[in-house]
Structure 1
């Protein structure tokens, strides 16, 4: 017997007696990634809030756990058309999923897209959506069917028009090619405009090259991507803030974590979502102001105009019954009518007055 064996046994006995960890530190290697850059709030907070806060809480457990992170944002691992599949297949352990580009795999999650013109307050929308993932089981199960665990909703500030030429009336959209990601193109139905699929990383080149003549998009995304350089005419429409996806974790990776670490990941995911809403509201007005200031030096200069209330109402009323069409088309995939009604009721309970009561048209 090795002479040190009795000492090792004594150390083990002492550790057990005083409740000290006898085993070596357990390290979990996790990758967190996104198709979009950290200049966008919903990606930046993954690095500045989610990762350090999870580390802090895991260390506070005092169980010898440690997470070794690999952070890969800005399309290092995958592009915008693979946000869901990359989480599903474990290309990344945790990632931001852009469900607006995943209507086929995540049909139930599109409820926000088919109920536009509700509220510009993204904080309210994220609060409602996170609540619905607890009260409407079908929503959480949709993520699980794609081998993903929902951690927290992400959204964006209210949508406006950013175009190469001025848009003064709703009729001015007719014949225009307008970039809109995935199902957001539905908002152009009956306008006479042509929806061109794309996302923030592609808009600059698409507009510059003539693939499109502008985009329906968000100020906090247009500014860091400098899209105002090629689309200097900003028409504020207030189509509304939108639930666009969420941070999710590969279910196989999640299942390998201890239960208390799983809870930390879920809890911090919710805090990330809340912080995102607050950040977006803070940055929104500043983004519009900055684009005007910086864009004053270009030709043509950046100009902001408002679509009048009357023209906005023409847009709202001319839209087909998006929610009813969606509910009917996807009825076999889940409780679509219940989802729309739950969403609209929850918004109204929080003081929102939608421009159109989509749930009453089902």
Structure 2
């Protein structure tokens, strides 16, 4: 009787498959948490919600294998703050998150290559394209993500940096003695200026400037605008220190490995699409943000004033700075091919039409 039932079951399954009434894979739901320390008003976070999540869903559905992702989204520091972006993803507090590599120099020393080569280019699209290629093709960079239990998905970055201060700045010499907020890794840009770097990020600048902890910041217009930092730092001095690769969206390695290979591929493909879209978005939003800062701050008690650094002062800043790239290479000599990373980065930028104000790689 058992053999007869088994035969009938096989025959029924065969008939159903022939009629297209069965699926080759059972339905499966993957529960993933995606998060950030920063709010969705910032482009590199907003696109995690408006592009990454829906695009992954669309492509997973198109596989037609019964897979579904159940997302939990937690942005704006709901689960962790800016000083825990790497550890929160690496330890599995979240599955996918934005990792602020600029604040992780001790755990990701080689990832700082863009911060030690300022005045390279203001085109963030170029920088992100190069950063994505390097994180995939340079073993030492790939290993840093791996060591921290992360899978790199796509580079993030920001538009070019300017000065936003409580008092006017017109020359490089005006920086002497000023307290300026900047993420830790960007403090190197102030070396040689006699300015004092104050550690912080976009989420802390307003309060720091308002309370006198600092007198301004080296920052980006697309970040200053939504955080309304121009209210306490109304003097905008356009310097074009350069756009910057600052980290990226990454996934916990254990969570990634638990997914089917075809879903893993989708996650990585969409990560690169996120990065490309971010670059285009930042280039479109940059000028508009700068203009909006001026417009929205026109009627405040101290109206916003936007003015360029005096002629020749940008070059003075770049050339007065110690060779921070060479210093960085020396510091990281035992950790991997630091010199090669700087050289590759600068060469790849030039191949794409960038004209660095200073050739950091030629004096290592």
Q: TM-score w.r.t. structure 2 length?
A: 0.96
1:152 partnered with 2:136: no
Cα gap change, 1:18 to 1:185, in 2 (>3 Å): farther
Pairing of 1:51-200 with structure 2 (within 5 A):
51-200=53-202
1:347 aligns with 2:349: yes
| Contact 1:15–1:22 (CA under 8 A) maintained in structure 2 | no
Report the 3-state secondary structure (helix = DSSP H, G, I; strand = E; otherwise coil) of the residue aligned with 2:213.
coil
| Cα 1:7/1:74, change in 2 over 3 Å | farther
Tell me how far 1:5 sits from its aligned partner. Answer: 9.6
TM superposition shift of 1:17: 4.5
CA distance 1:257–1:175, shift in 2 (3 Å): same
In structure 2, list runs of 5 or more residues that go unmatched. Answer: none
CA offset digits 1:240-298 (Å, max 9, x no partner)? 00000000000000000000000000000000000000000000000011111110110
C-alpha displacement of 1:131: 1.2
Cα distance in 2 for residues equivalent to 1:223 and 1:56: 32
- Superposition deviation, residue 10 in structure 1: 5.8
In 1, are the aligned partners of 2:119 and 2:240 still within 8 Å (CA)? Answer: yes
Deviation of 1:141 (Å)? 1.2
Deviations 1:19-69 (A, max 9, x none): 732654100000000000000000000000000000000001111100000
Task: Look up the match of 1:338.
Answer: 340
SS at match of 1:71: strand
Cα 1:11/1:23, change in 2 over 3 Å: farther
Distance 2:74 2:37 in 1: 9
Q: What's the CA shift for 1:299?
A: 1.3
Residue of structure 1 aligned with 2:48, choices 46, 49, 70: 46
Offset from partner CA, 1:296-346 (integer Å, 9 cap, x none): 110110000100231111111111111111011001111101100000000
User: Normalization by structure 1: what TM-score?
Assistant: 0.96
Select 2:265's aligned residue among 239, 254, 263.
263
Evaluate the alpha carbon distance shift between residue 9 and residue 39 of structure 1 in structure 2; reply closer, same or farther with a 3 A threshold.
same
What displacement does 1:12 show? 3.6
Query: Residues 284 and 11 of structure 1: is their aligned pair in 2 closer, same or farther, counting only changes over 3 Å?
Result: farther
SS in 1 for 2:237: strand
CA distance in 1, matches of 2:160, 2:71: 33
Q: Structure 1: 5+ residue runs without aligned partners?
A: none
Q: Secondary structure at the match of 2:227?
A: coil
- C-alpha contact (below 8 Å) 2:164/2:233 kept by paired residues: yes
Whole-Å Cα distance in 2 between the matches of residues 330 and 256 of structure 1? 34
CA drift at 1:140: 1.1
Matching residue of 2:312: 310
The equivalent residue for 2:28 is 26
Q: 1:71: how far off?
A: 0.4
Q: 1:285 to 1:333 in 2, by over 3 A?
A: same
> 1:27 and 1:231, CA in 2 relative to 1: closer, same or farther beyond 3 A?
same
> Matched residues in 1 for 2:12 and 2:142: separation?
47
* Pairing of 1:156-305 with structure 2 (within 5 A): 156-305=158-307
CA contact (8 A) 1:36 1:73 kept: yes
CA pair 13-122 structure 1, distance change in 2 beyond 3 A: same
RMSD: 1.7
When the two structures are aligned, how many residues end up with a matched partner? 361
Q: Distance in 1 between matches of 2:12 and 2:100?
A: 51
4+ residue runs over 2 A deviation = 4-20
Q: Matches of 2:293 and 2:262 in 1, distance apart?
A: 45
Q: Could you tell me how far 1:18 is from its partner in structure 2?
A: 5.5
Give the Cα separation in 2 of the matches to 1:302 and 1:12: 73
Q: Closer, same or farther in 2 for the Cα pair 1:295/1:6, shift >3 Å?
A: farther
The Cα shift of 1:149 comes to 0.2
